[in-house]
Amino acid sequence: MNLFERHWDSKAQAPYLINKSNTLISLDDEESVALKADYIVNNNAARIIV
Protein backbone atom coordinates (compact mmCIF):
# COMPACT_ATOMS: atom_id res chain seq x y z
CA MET A 1 0.00 0.00 0.00
CA ASN A 2 1.47 3.34 -1.07
CA LEU A 3 0.38 6.07 1.35
CA PHE A 4 2.18 8.93 -0.42
CA GLU A 5 2.04 10.07 -4.03
CA ARG A 6 5.25 11.33 -5.64
CA HIS A 7 5.26 14.66 -7.49
CA TRP A 8 7.97 16.73 -9.17
CA ASP A 9 8.66 20.42 -8.45
CA SER A 10 10.07 21.76 -11.71
CA LYS A 11 11.32 24.98 -10.14
CA ALA A 12 13.21 23.24 -7.31
CA GLN A 13 14.13 20.31 -9.60
CA ALA A 14 13.22 17.96 -6.75
CA PRO A 15 10.51 15.48 -5.83
CA TYR A 16 8.02 15.77 -3.02
CA LEU A 17 5.53 13.36 -1.51
CA ILE A 18 1.98 14.13 -0.42
CA ASN A 19 -0.73 11.96 1.13
CA LYS A 20 -4.53 12.18 1.41
CA SER A 21 -4.34 14.28 4.58
CA ASN A 22 -2.03 16.76 2.74
CA THR A 23 1.10 15.84 4.68
CA LEU A 24 4.00 17.05 2.58
CA ILE A 25 7.50 15.56 2.54
CA SER A 26 10.21 17.24 0.47
CA LEU A 27 13.29 15.26 -0.39
CA ASP A 28 16.11 14.72 -2.84
CA ASP A 29 16.56 11.56 -4.84
CA GLU A 30 19.18 10.36 -7.35
CA GLU A 31 17.72 12.52 -10.11
CA SER A 32 17.52 15.76 -8.11
CA VAL A 33 20.99 15.32 -6.61
CA ALA A 34 22.42 14.71 -10.10
CA LEU A 35 20.70 17.85 -11.44
CA LYS A 36 22.05 19.91 -8.53
CA ALA A 37 25.56 18.49 -9.00
CA ASP A 38 25.41 19.37 -12.70
CA TYR A 39 24.36 22.92 -11.80
CA ILE A 40 27.30 23.25 -9.40
CA VAL A 41 29.80 22.01 -11.98
CA ASN A 42 28.34 23.99 -14.90
CA ASN A 43 28.21 27.24 -12.92
CA ASN A 44 31.61 26.91 -11.23
CA ALA A 45 30.05 27.18 -7.79
CA ALA A 46 32.72 27.70 -5.16
CA ARG A 47 30.62 26.43 -2.25
CA ILE A 48 27.54 24.35 -1.56
CA ILE A 49 25.34 23.86 1.47
CA VAL A 50 24.07 20.38 2.23
DSSP labels for 22-45? Answer: --EEE---HHHHHHHHHHHHHTT-
Give the chain's length.
50
48 in a structural domain: no
50 in a structural domain: no
49 in a structural domain: no
31 in a structural domain: yes
Task: Give the per-residue pLDDT at 35.
Answer: 96
Domain that holds residue 22: 5-42
Number of domains composing the chain: 1
pLDDT band at 13 (very low <50, low <70, confident <90, very high): very high
pLDDT band at 1 (very low <50, low <70, confident <90, very high): low
Task: Give the per-residue pLDDT at 48.
Answer: 77
Asked if the model's pLDDT at residue 15 lies above 90, the reply is: yes
